[in-house]
């Protein structure tokens, strides 16, 4: 092999290294680099609404064209802020620390509400997917999503629209499209929160005409979303996930439980909102308060739980200093006085057409009215596919995969949710690995060929007789005049050793 051929082979090897570096990237890198994800949460959209009302765009653009689970599980307590933060972090409520819309932290002796950043900062190890995306060069946007206005590990999202009441769904969609098409920093991940039908569901109840009207607007909004995706040529690159945090149960005004009639209010204070209240008291008064509450539960529709109760452990609602030693949970359809105060407040604000029926959530996850929705459509998802059950914390794993991000610590799993993908997570990992291994084998073989060629050329290099004889004499002297042949002695040296060649 001539030197020109060797140089060409070396250049070809370098090109092969680059080919192997990019081979197998479809879909795990090349497609993911173009992929955009829009996550929409419709607060209080219960799964039972799907069968109760007619749907046009939600059915054609999402359910018929996408994938959804047989059952979508949320986290207890089934409240808005805790479940939205579980979706973003993949963590149980007891792990990320947002165990209610407002909480009391016994370790700090402080109360935090929905406007306090400290509500989300208890666990410094949380890794919201919008933060991971920013850390890996992506651009995240959040429209009113709980917890997204906080900097995690010193990182803020690129785009942020804070919460404001009565935001129009179509306006939020327009903002999403604007961020996706931004010329300088186009977003590749957007979380969009919409407060309906939760807002009207609380005031008028889940079976009201007001809820039906909000659901109609949402359906038209889904149609508008796909119209905008088409206009801006985004349908082939944007994956759309529509979900909710919980459903809604009807509550009669007569179903209010007054704790002051059961236990002396001077013995305790509470945190949280109906139907789950955390009851805080001193160690000395704990037994008295617990006994009074337990006695009251015999004639009122609520259950008393201790922090270590097996049911709380099963719900992963136990291991946190923000959860009290004693908690009380009203039965479905029942509330405590704080909910009555909320309805009275809405009446004073001028809410019209009120009846004696309202709505609430926060009840156990196995109650059908608490079940949320999940449907995903776009280039990454199967069409018209019903998957096995999965949880909202599994959404975190899905989003990390779609965006090619290494997940942070989380409680989710990809086992069931990956089945909704056109190409499951396992195969997208195996494909680049197998291609890379194949390339490595080929490269090693070619390197071996190159090495043999160079070795062969070295062996056939002309050697002068003087060099040969001098080398032979030196090596024979070093062997101490022994006659045993060297293992690597050349044919020429064997001839010299046999005295076949005359002296030069």
Over the stretch 391-449, which tens digit does the pLDDT of each residue have? 999 999 999 999 999 999 999 999 999 999 999 775 444 343 344 444 444 455 555 55
Segments making up each domain of the chain, as ranges: 28-91+126-248+365-422, 256-358, 466-504
Q: What is the pLDDT of residues 166-205, one digit of tens each?
A: 999 999 999 999 999 999 999 999 999 999 999 999 999 9
80 is catalytic: yes
| Spatial contact of 221 and 215, defined as CB atoms under 8 Å apart | no
**pTM score, two decimals?**
0.81
Residue 472 phi, psi (nearest 5): -65, -45
**In the CATH hierarchy, which fold is given to the domain comprising 28-91+126-248+365-422?**
Alkaline Phosphatase, subunit A (3.40.720)
Q: What is the pLDDT of residues 27-57, one digit of tens each?
A: 444 444 579 999 999 999 999 999 999 999 9
Residues ≥6 apart with Cβ < 8 Å to 119: 81, 98, 102, 103, 112, 113, 147
3-state helix, strand, coil in the chain (%, to 5): 40, 15, 40
**How far is residue 398 CA from its own chain's centroid?**
6
Question: What does the alpha-carbon distance between residue 169 and residue 191 come to, in Å, rounded to a whole number?
Answer: 13
Name the pairing type of β-strands 385-387 and 66-69: parallel
- Put residue 90 in one of left, alpha, beta given phi > 0 → left and psi -120 to 50 → alpha: left
Strand order in the sheet with 374-377: 159-161, 140-143, 189-194, 36-42, 238-243, 374-377, 66-69, 385-387
Residue 46 phi, psi (nearest 5): -75, 150
Helices 425-459 and 3-22 cross at an angle (nearest 10°) of 170
Catalytic: which of 60, 78, 80, 321? 80
Q: Which residue has the higher pLDDT, 302 or 495?
A: 302
CA angle 480, 474, 497 (to 5 degrees): 75
The residue-averaged pLDDT of 366-371 equals 98
User: Which DSSP string do the residues of 89-144 spell out, in sequence order?
Assistant: H---HHHHS--SSSEEETTTTEEE-TT-GGGG-S-TT---HHHHHHHTT--EEEES
**pLDDT on residue 438:** 47
For residue 497, count other CB atoms closer than 10 A to its CB. Answer: 15
Structure tokens at 61: 């653009």
**pLDDT on residue 28:** 43
- What does the mean pLDDT of the chain come to? 86
Match 């795990």 to its residue by tokens.
28
**In the CATH hierarchy, which fold is given to the domain comprising 256-358?**
Gyrase A; domain 2 (3.30.1360)
Q: Which of 48-52, 113-117, 277-281, 422-426 has the lowest mean pLDDT?
A: 422-426
The residue-averaged pLDDT of 95-109 equals 97
**pLDDT on residue 32:** 47
> What percentage of the chain has pLDDT greater than the value 90?
77
**pLDDT on residue 12:** 45
């Amino acid at each position: 092999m001539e030197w020109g051929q060797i140089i060409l082979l070396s250049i070809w090897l370098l090109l092969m290294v680059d080919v192997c570096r990019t081979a197998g990237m479809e879909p795990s890198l090349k497609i993911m680099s173009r992929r955009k994800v829009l996550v929409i949460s419709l607060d209080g959209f219960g799964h039972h609404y799907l069968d109760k009302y007619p749907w046009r765009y939600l059915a054609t653009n999402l359910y018929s064209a996408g994938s959804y689970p047989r059952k979508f599980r949320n986290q207890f307590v089934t409240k808005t802020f805790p479940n939205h933060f579980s979706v973003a972090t993949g963590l149980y409520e007891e792990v990320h620390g947002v165990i209610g819309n407002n909480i009391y932290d016994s370790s700090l002796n402080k109360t935090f509400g929905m406007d306090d950043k400290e509500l989300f900062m208890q666990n410094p190890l949380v890794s919201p997917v919008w933060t991971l995306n920013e850390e890996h060069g992506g651009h995240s946007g959040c429209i009113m999503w709980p917890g997204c206005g906080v900097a995690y590990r010193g990182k803020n999202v690129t785009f942020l629209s804070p919460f404001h009441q009565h935001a129009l769904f179509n306006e939020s969609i327009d903002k999403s499209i604007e961020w996706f098409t931004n010329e300088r920093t186009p977003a590749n991940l957007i979380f969009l929160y919409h407060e309906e039908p939760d807002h009207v569901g609380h005031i008028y109840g889940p079976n009201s005409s007001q809820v039906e009207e909000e659901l109609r607007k949402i359906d038209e909004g889904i149609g508008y979303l796909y119209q905008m995706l088409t206009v801006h040529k985004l349908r082939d690159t944007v994956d759309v996930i529509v979900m909710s945090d919980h459903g809604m149960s009807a509550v009669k005004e007569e179903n209010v439980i007054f704790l002051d009639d059961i236990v002396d209010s001077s013995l305790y204070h509470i945190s949280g909102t109906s139907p789950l209240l955390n009851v805080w008291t001193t160690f000395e008064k704990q037994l008295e308060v617990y006994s009074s509450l337990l006695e009251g539960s015999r004639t009122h529709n609520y259950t008393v739980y201790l922090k270590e109760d097996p049911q709380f452990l099963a719900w992963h609602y136990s291991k946190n200093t923000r959860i009290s030693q004693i908690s009380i949970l009203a039965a479905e359809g029942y509330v405590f006085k704080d909910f009555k105060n909320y309805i009275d407040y809405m009446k004073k604000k001028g809410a019209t057409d009120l009846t004696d029926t309202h709505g609430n959530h926060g009840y156990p996850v196995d109650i059908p009215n608490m079940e949320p929705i999940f449907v995903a459509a776009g280039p990454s998802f199967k069409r018209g596919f019903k998957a096995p059950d999965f949880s909202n914390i599994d959404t975190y794993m899905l989003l990390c995969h779609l965006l090619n991000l290494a997940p942070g610590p989380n409680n989710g799993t990809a086992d069931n949710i990956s089945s909704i993908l056109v190409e499951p997570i396992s195969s997208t990992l195996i494909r680049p690995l197998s291609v890379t291994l194949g390339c490595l084998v080929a490269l090693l073989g070619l390197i071996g060929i190159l090495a043999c060629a160079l070795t062969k050329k070295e062996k056939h290099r002309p050697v002068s007789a003087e060099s040969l004889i001098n080398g032979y004499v030196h090596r024979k002297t070093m062997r101490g005049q022994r006659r045993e042949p060297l293992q690597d002695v050349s044919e020429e040296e064997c001839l010299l050793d046999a005295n076949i060649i005359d002296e030069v």
